[in-house]
Structure 1
Amino acid sequence: MTDPDLLTPPFDTKIAVAVRDDLATWQRLNVTAFLTSGIAAALPELVGDAYADADGQAYLPLLGMPVLVFEAPAPVLAAARERAVRRGLPLAVYTADMFSTGHDAANRASVQAVPGPDLDLVGVAVHGPKNGVDKVLKGARLHPRPESTHRRSVAPAGAPAGQTAVRPVPTLASHHPSWRSAGMVGAPSAGTS
């Protein structure tokens, strides 16, 4: 079982992923998924308990704290890698070469073939004290979320079958108000917390 204090707001630490700002959407999603899995695998204490629905169906546990996703140009990612290494923070990397490999061993070989400062980074993930992670990701921006197009069709409560209305999808802060009070939502960049 996970230490509940570690995974209860306000959080003393932060998980952050930064992806290169010129990636296609599918690449951003793929890189974020892989990098987040690295944090979860290396730091199992950040994984919460398993989920279950009201019917008793069990689901896998998830990370027990927010994952902030940033975007940055290649030089900012390279600087973030260097700062994280210098600070000794847990760090996951994803390189452009990894898009052309088909399995884990080939991914690791593509990274191992290149000196750290020369890696063609398309993403990094880091975990550590909030201020340390902010300093590592200096110059990165929170990944944009197009509010005006972030909508879905839903049936209003009590509406006849087939009737729908378009409404905004609730924001991150509306789901987890404690995230805003913990400094996890709304910061314009990693270096301003």
Structure 2
Amino acid sequence: MTGNEPTTTLEAKLAAIIEPRLQAMGFELVRVAVLGRDRPTIQIMADRQDGSQISIDDCQQISQDVSAALDVEDPIPGVWTLEVSSAGIDRPLTRVKDWNRFAGHLARVETFVPQDGRKRFSGVVLGADETAARLRLDDGAEVVIRHPDIRRAKLVLTDALIEATATPPLAH
């Protein structure tokens, strides 16, 4: 969520409840998704504000806190399931800061509407600003895709990405 989305979607309503709680605990919300209808699953993807790896204990802490908040706010009637995870290495690109942090790495992007006759793009991330993200395609051409037009964007797992996101060894 970039803060520019309309607050009418269920994901936006959930983000408004979840985001301040995560920030108070030292985390950042990367993405909220709701999957399924009869017994929906709320998926929360989070990062640590300090950039360090998120742990299983962190996910449990987030799950307990957010679950309690959602029980009180009750944005989804009936029974639902909550899943909390780290954004991972081959993470989705949902925020401007992610596009800029992972500039130089390979990503795949799918758009809601065709752009230059296509909806799927693969290329090197060149960064983003508040309105659009940029990719350099395999043929060398650059494409600019407005954030609202992006259905999903995700980093591609490569050796370079693994190396760039590896936790440095502890000094003894």
Q: Above 0.5 in TM-score? A: no
Ranked by relative contact order (alpha carbons within 8 Å, sequence separation 6 or more), the top structure is: 1
Higher percent of residues as strand: 2
Length-normalised TM-score, structure 1? 0.26
Higher percent of residues as helix: 1
Of the two, which has the highest radius of gyration?
1
